[in-house]
Amino acid sequence: MPQEVSISYQAVKSKVYKLVDAMVEGDKNSVEVQESIRRWWNLIHPSDRAVAQKYLLMVLEKSNSTLGAIILGLPDAKEVKAVGQMDSQTIPARSDRSVVSSLV
């Protein structure tokens, strides 16, 4: 029997932040992050998935808002060069809930 995981808001936030940190540090790439979140999702009991999805969307929305605030808080960045271009096609839009909804 597979082990089930906690779906408290704090546990979900911790999972997301660990994945972000792993990607920032270069320990995981986007495919590995996606696979990790799929494995985590499969450990959540089906009756708990609606709450887990709610918490996950809350964390992702707040994280997205935080990143936006950081970007807007930067001083005039004429001397700052982008390290790499973000491919907008690989980043789901904030309103695109189908990625998480398909996990349910």
Choice between 89 and 5, residue whose per-residue pLDDT is larger:
5
SS3 for 26? coil
Measured between alpha carbons, how far is 30 from 5 in angstroms, rounded to an integer? 22
Contact 33, 8 (CB under 8 A): no
pLDDT tens digit sequence for 1-58: 557 788 999 999 999 999 999 999 999 999 999 999 999 999 999 999 999 999 999 9
Q: Which pLDDT score, from 0 to 100, does residue 74 have?
A: 87
Question: What pTM was estimated for this model as a whole?
Answer: 0.69
Q: What are phi and psi of 64, to 5 degrees?
A: -60, -45
How far from the centroid of its chain's Cα atoms is residue 28's Cα? 13
Domain boundaries, given as residue ranges, for the chain? 1-63
The mean pLDDT value for 44-73 works out to: 95
